[in-house]
């Protein structure tokens, strides 16, 4: 779960990092440090820990390039974020369910996968799908 939140935060910061905003640099560095520490706790592969550490070191080595002041928050930015976030969640969720389709009951369907992902997104967990080796 931590990896998803860190990834979401980094997606939000990407445009600000491209503009070399100092505040975005600080937040990204904190997220990569947190990811580096959390990757071990979540049982992620060692490569995730290594990549997080490399990104934090890269940010530290390039800190002098991030001098710009942050952009003020705007409703336009929020309006651009919401569809991007929904598309990312749906893409990853449906792809994950598709890759694990052999363990799902009832059988995988695109409409069922979308419904399951959206239900999980809003916190409604009354889905009929079960997964795991014992559900066959």
The pLDDT value recorded for residue 125 is: 55
Q: Which residues pair with 21 in a beta bridge?
A: 68
The pLDDT value recorded for residue 119 is: 85
φ, ψ of residue 130 to 5 degrees: the values are -125, 155
The pLDDT value recorded for residue 40 is: 61
Which H helix or E strand runs over 104? strand 104-105
The pLDDT value recorded for residue 59 is: 92
The model carries a pTM of: 0.54
From the centroid of its chain, how far is CA 20?
22
Number of residues assigned to the chain:
136
The pLDDT value recorded for residue 38 is: 63
Mean pLDDT by groups of 10 residues along the chain of 136 residues: 76 88 91 74 73 89 90 78 85 90 86 87 59 49
In angstroms, the CA 10 to CA 24 distance is 9
Spans of all domains in the chain? 2-65, 75-135
The pLDDT value recorded for residue 60 is: 93
């Amino acid at each position: 779960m931590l990896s998803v939140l860190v990834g979401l935060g980094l997606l939000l910061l990407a445009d600000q990092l491209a503009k070399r905003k100092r505040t975005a640099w600080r937040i990204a560095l904190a997220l990569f440090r947190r990811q580096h520490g959390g990757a071990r706790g979540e049982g992620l592969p060692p490569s995730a820990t290594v990549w997080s550490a490399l990104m934090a070191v890269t940010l530290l080595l390039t800190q002098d390039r991030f001098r710009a002041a942050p952009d003020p928050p705007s409703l336009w930015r929020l309006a651009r974020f919401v569809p991007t976030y929904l598309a990312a969640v749906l893409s990853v969720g449906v792809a994950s369910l598709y890759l694990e389709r052999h363990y799902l009951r009832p059988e995988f369907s695109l409409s069922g996968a979308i419904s399951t992902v959206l239900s999980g997104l809003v916190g409604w967990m009354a889905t009929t799908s079960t997964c795991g080796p014992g559900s066959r």
